[in-house]
A and B are shown apart, each in its own frame.
Chain A
Amino acid sequence: MMFRQRLLVASFLSGMSVVAGTAARAETTLSLMSFGGAYQEAQRKAVFESYTAKTGTKIIEQEYGGEIAKIKAMVDTGNTTLDVIDVDAPTASQGCDEGLFETIDWSRIGDRSNWIKGTATDCAVGTIVYATIVAYDAAKMKNGPTKMADLFDTARFPGKRGLFKSPYGNMEFALLADGVPVGDVYKVLGTPEGIDRAFKKLGTIKKDVVWWDAGAQAPQLLASGEVVMTTAWNGRIYNANKEGRQFKIVWDHEMLDSNLWVIPKGAKNPQASYDFIKFYVQPEILSKVSKYIPYGPVTQSAVADVAPDIAENLPTTPKNMTNSFTLDVNFWADHADEIRKRFTTWLAQ
C-alpha cells in the first residue's frame, strides 16, 4: 500500500519534471561536448547540475574522444550546434590557429592573471590541470623511484618501464633526466643538438621500454607486473588506487597539461556560452570538480578552496608542483611533424 502510494507520487513528480523540462527547453538550453567517462561525470556532479538548478538552463551533453577533426567538420559545414566544448591544450591552440574557435572576450570572464600560466589563451578558458607523472607499484617495490631521472636509471631500477608511444613528453623527460634545467627544456629541444640529445638519452632505455598507446594501459601494465614503473596520467593512477591498488606517484618533473572551454565558431548564442563559462570558473564551483576527480583547478583562487585531503593528490598543490613544467603547445605545433617522423624511424631502428 505504502509502496503503491510512493510509486504514484513518484510517477506524478516525474510527470511534473517532464512538463518542467519542456518548459525549460522552450526558454534556454546549452549544448556542450566534453570527454565523457569519469571526467564528464565529475563535471556533471560538480557543475552542470548546479548550473541547471540555479539558472533553469537545461544542459544537453555530448561526448567525444578529443578529436579536433570532429569540431572542424562541424564548423566547416557551417552548422555549429554546440555552445561550448571542453578541449585539451594542444587542441585549444590548433583550433585557435585554424579559426575554429571564437576569440574570448576576457572582460566577460574575469581577471586573466588569476589563471595559471598557459591556461588563459586568446580562444580558451582553462578549467583543470592534470599531469603526466611516473608511477610504480608500492606493493611490489618498497624503495621505489623518487625522481624523473630514475625512469632512466636501469642500474638501480632494473626491469621494463612503460612510456607513451609518442614523442610528446618523452623528449622533455629525457632532457630533464639528462640534467637540463626545467626552465630550459624547450629552448634546448628547439635546437637540432637538443633533439639528438633527447633521442640519445631515450636510446639508453630503449630495449627496456614497453610502449603504451591508450591511457588505460598504463595502470594495467603496472598491475599485471609487465613493467616496474611507467609514465601515466595522474587521474588513472588515482582511480586504480581507489580500486585497491597501492600505486605511488613520483611528483618530480611532471608534465602539466590542461583542459579548457572554447566557444566554437558560429555558436548560436554566445551570451549563453559566456554565462556558462563564467559560472564554471567561479572558485567555489571550479574547486568542486576536484572532489570527484583528482585534477586541479587552474585559477589561484580556486586552488585555495580545495580541501587539504583532496589537495594531496592534485598536480596543482604547491608541494607537488615544485619543479613541474607545462606542455608547450606552441613548440609542438612547430615541431610535431618532424619529431614524430624521427621518433617513428627511431622506434623502427
Chain B
Amino acid sequence: MTPDLPTRSQPAGLDRAVRKANRPASRASFSLAIPLLLFLLVTFVVPIVSLFAKAVDNPETRSVLPATVAALDAWPGAGAPDEAVFAAFARDLARAASGRTAAGLGKRLNYEIPGMRSRVITAARSAGVVQAPFKAAFIKLDPVWGDPIVWATIKRDGRRLTPSYLLAAADLRQTADGAIVPAPADQRIFLGILGRTLFIAGLVTVLTLVLGYPVAYALALAPPLLASVMMLCILLPLWTSLLVRTTAWVVLLQTNGVVNDVILALGLSSERLQLIFTRFGTVAAMTHIQLPFTILPIASVMRTIPAAHMRAARSLGAPPAAAFWQVYAPQTLPGVMAGGLITFILSLGYYITPALVGGPNDQMISNFISIYINSELNWGLASALGVVLLVVTLGIYGVFLRVVGADKLRLG
C-alpha cells in the first residue's frame, strides 16, 4: 500500500495468476472428493445437527396437552388456573390415557419437578371418570394440581423449544417465573465433572509428552532395524483391545497385584498401597493407552529433520544442550502439538478405563452421556452434555490454533 514497497504487489498478482491457472486441476481434484464429502455429510454433519436439535427439542407437553397449553395462554400466572384450564386438562389427559402417552408427559415434568411422573399417571388414570367442576376434582385427587408452580412449568414446557436441557448441563435451572438460577448444591454435578474431564485429559496429555518425547527421539536416531523393532513395540498395544489393556492394569494395580508385590519386595513401603480405584490408576492406565497416539506424530516429524542441522549448530560452537533446544526442538514443535492435541481430544471421551480402574471421583463426562442415553433414556440431556463437550473442545482447539498458529500443527 505504501509507495516504498512496490515489489510487494507483484508476487500477489503472480499468486492470483498461478491460482487461476491451477483452477481446472483443483476443480478436478475437488470433484474426486465429492463422494467423501457426501459420506461426511451423512455420517458426521447430520448427526451433529440432530444432536443440537435434540438438545433443545421439547415435543412432549405440546403433543400431550395441546388444549391445556392453549387455555393456559389466558392464565395470568398467579394462583391456580381457572375451570377452563382444568376442563381442557381433563380432556387432554383422558385422550393421553387411551393413547398411553401420559407417562411421556410425566417423565418430561419429572425432570423439572421430581415426583411428578407418577402424579401425572395417576391423574391420567382418573381423567376418564372425574366430573365437573374439574378444578375441585383434580385438587381433591392431589393437592399438587392447585400449585401455580406446576402450571407455570406446564405453560413454559408448552413451547416448541426449551433451554432446560442445556441449562441442566451447565448446572443451571429456570424458576417458575423464568429467571435462570444455579441448581441446588447437591444437584450440581456437570460443571465439576467437565472440569475433572478436562483436568484428567490435560494431565494425561502432559504425561504422554514427557514420556513419549524421548522415545520418539530415540526412535528417530535409531538405526533402521532397531527403529522398526521399536516401532513394533509402540504399535503392538494399539492392536490390543482397550478392554484387555484396562483389565491388565487391574491385575497390575490391585492391592495384591504385581506392582504392590514389587514395592514390598524392594522395601519401598511396609504395607500395600491403594493404587487401583484411585485417580493415580486412571491416569496411569490412560497414559499407557494414549502413548502411541502422542509418539507417532512426534516421531514422524522428527524423521523429517535433517541430522545436518544439529551438526551445523555444533560446528558453529553451540554446546549439545543448546544445539538440541535451540535448533532441533523447535522444529519438532508441530509434531508435539499434533500428538498432544490428538491425545487430549481422545482422552476427553474415555469412560471404560476410569470406570474399571478409577476411584469414585474419576467418572468422566462420557460416562454420564452413556447413562442418560442407554439407561435413563433422557436423550435431551445426553445431547445437551454432548453439545457442551463439543463446544468446549472446539473452544480449546480454537484457542490452541490462535496461540500456536495453524501452521505449527502437522499430523504425521
A interface with B by C-beta (< 8 Å): 67-69, 72, 90, 94, 96-99, 103, 165, 209-211, 213-214, 217, 220, 224-226, 330, 333-338, 340-342, 344-348
CB-CB under 8 A from A165, the residues of chain B are 355, 360, 363
Q: Is B306 an interface residue (CB 8 A)?
A: no
Bound complex: CA A209 to CA B188 (Å): 23
Bound complex: CA A214 to CA B378 (Å): 22
Say whether B118 contacts A330, CB under 8 Å: yes
Q: Digit string of B364-375 for contact with A (CB within 8 Å is 1, else 0)? A: 000000010111
Say whether B277 contacts A94, CB under 8 Å: no
CB-CB under 8 A from A337, the residues of chain B are 110-111, 114, 376, 378
Q: Is B156 an interface residue (CB 8 A)?
A: no
Say whether A347 contacts B374, CB under 8 Å: no
Bound complex: CA A22 to CA B269 (Å): 67
Q: Which of A99, A330, A336, A342 is the one whose CB lies under 8 Å from B101?
A: A99
Bound complex: CA A67 to CA B277 (Å): 26
Say whether A334 contacts B375, CB under 8 Å: no
Bound complex: CA A212 to CA B352 (Å): 12
Q: Which of A68, A211, A213, A335 is the one whose CB lies under 8 Å from B374?
A: A68
Q: Digit string of B255-276 for contact with A (CB within 8 Å is 1, else 0)? A: 1110000000000000000001
User: How far apart are A336's CB and chain B's nearest CB, in angstroms?
Assistant: 7
CB-CB under 8 A from B374, the residues of chain A are 67-69
Residue of A nearest to B185 (CB): A345
Bound complex: CA A225 to CA B257 (Å): 10
Say whether B103 contacts A96, CB under 8 Å: yes
Say whether A214 contacts B187, CB under 8 Å: no
Bound complex: CA A67 to CA B192 (Å): 27
Q: Is B377 an interface residue (CB 8 A)?
A: yes
Say whether B115 contacts A334, CB under 8 Å: yes
CB-CB under 8 A from A347, the residues of chain B are 360-361
Contact of A334 with B256 at beta-carbon distance under 8 Å, contacts A67-B374, A213-B355, A348-B192 already known: no
Residue in A94, A217, A334, A338 with the greatest tally of chain B CB atoms within 10 Å:
A334
Q: Interface size for chain B: under 10, 10 to 19, 20 to 34, or 35 or more residues?
A: 35 or more
Q: Which of A69, A103, A211 is the one whose CB lies under 8 Å from B373?
A: A69
CB-CB under 8 A from B185, the residues of chain A are 345
Say whether A99 contacts B100, CB under 8 Å: yes
User: How far apart are A85's CB and chain B's nearest CB, in angstroms?
Assistant: 15
Contact of A67 with B375 at beta-carbon distance under 8 Å, contacts A226-B254, A226-B255, A334-B110 already known: yes
User: How far apart are A342's CB and chain B's nearest CB, in angstroms?
Assistant: 5
Contact of A99 with B104 at beta-carbon distance under 8 Å, contacts A226-B255, A334-B114, A338-B187 already known: yes
CB-CB under 8 A from B255, the residues of chain A are 224-226
Pairs A-B, 7 closest by C-beta atoms = A97-B103, A347-B360, A67-B374, A213-B355, A342-B186, A341-B187, A338-B114
CB-CB under 8 A from A342, the residues of chain B are 186-187
Contact of A335 with B356 at beta-carbon distance under 8 Å, contacts A97-B106, A344-B189 already known: no
Residue in B103, B117, B374, B375 with the greatest tally of chain A CB atoms within 10 Å:
B375
Residue in B277, B361, B371 with the greatest tally of chain A CB atoms within 10 Å:
B277
CB-CB under 8 A from B256, the residues of chain A are 224-226
Say whether A69 contacts B377, CB under 8 Å: yes
CB-CB under 8 A from B135, the residues of chain A are none
CB-CB under 8 A from B116, the residues of chain A are 334
Q: Is B107 an interface residue (CB 8 A)?
A: yes
Residue of B nearest to A333 (CB): B117
User: How far apart are A301's CB and chain B's nearest CB, in angstroms?
Assistant: 31
CB-CB under 8 A from B193, the residues of chain A are 344
CB-CB under 8 A from B114, the residues of chain A are 334-335, 337-338
Bound complex: CA A329 to CA B356 (Å): 27
Bound complex: CA A330 to CA B375 (Å): 15
Bound complex: CA A226 to CA B276 (Å): 10
Q: Which of A68, A98, A213, A338 is the one whose CB lies under 8 Å from B104?
A: A98
Given contacts A165-B355, A213-B356, A330-B118, 17 further A-B contacts (CB under 8 A): A67-B374, A94-B377, A97-B121, A99-B103, A214-B355, A226-B254, A226-B255, A226-B276, A333-B110, A333-B117, A335-B115, A337-B376, A338-B114, A338-B187, A345-B185, A345-B189, A347-B361
Bound complex: CA A132 to CA B327 (Å): 63
Bound complex: CA A39 to CA B99 (Å): 35
Q: Digit string of B187-199 for contact with A (CB within 8 Å is 1, else 0)? A: 1110011000000
Bound complex: CA A69 to CA B371 (Å): 10
Bound complex: CA A98 to CA B277 (Å): 37
CB-CB under 8 A from B192, the residues of chain A are 345, 348
Bound complex: CA A67 to CA B376 (Å): 10
CB-CB under 8 A from A330, the residues of chain B are 118
Residue of B nearest to A199 (CB): B186
Bound complex: CA A72 to CA B376 (Å): 12
User: How far apart are A189's CB and chain B's nearest CB, in angstroms?
Assistant: 12
User: How far apart are A347's CB and chain B's nearest CB, in angstroms?
Assistant: 4
CB-CB under 8 A from A98, the residues of chain B are 103-104, 107, 377
CB-CB under 8 A from B187, the residues of chain A are 338, 341-342, 345
